[in-house]
Amino acid sequence: MPDEQKKFRIESAFNKMGEARLTPVRDALGADYTWEELAIVRMDMRQRKIPKEPIV
């Protein structure tokens, strides 16, 4: 997982541009952000959106 500052900037970019594609986010943020960092943060954002069901 990227450091907190990078994670915040990546999440902000995804919130502005949508989560469907990595390329527009990478283009906006620049080459200091790896494809792997973008993919990991996007996956984390998607996981947090899934409602948690209680285990019975």
- What pLDDT is stored for residue 52 in this prediction? 77
Q: What is the pLDDT of residues 6-56, one digit of tens each?
A: 999 999 999 999 999 999 999 999 999 999 999 999 999 999 988 877 777
26 Cβ contact list (under 8 Å, min separation 6):
33, 35, 38
- What pLDDT is stored for residue 17 in this prediction? 94
Look at residue 3 and tell me whether its pLDDT is greater than 90. Answer: yes
- What pLDDT is stored for residue 53 in this prediction? 77
Tell me, what amino acid is at 52? K
Look at residue 5 and tell me whether its pLDDT is greater than 90. Answer: yes
- What pLDDT is stored for residue 1 in this prediction? 84
DSSP letter (8 states) at residue 52: P
Cα(32)–Cα(46) distance, integer angstroms: 23
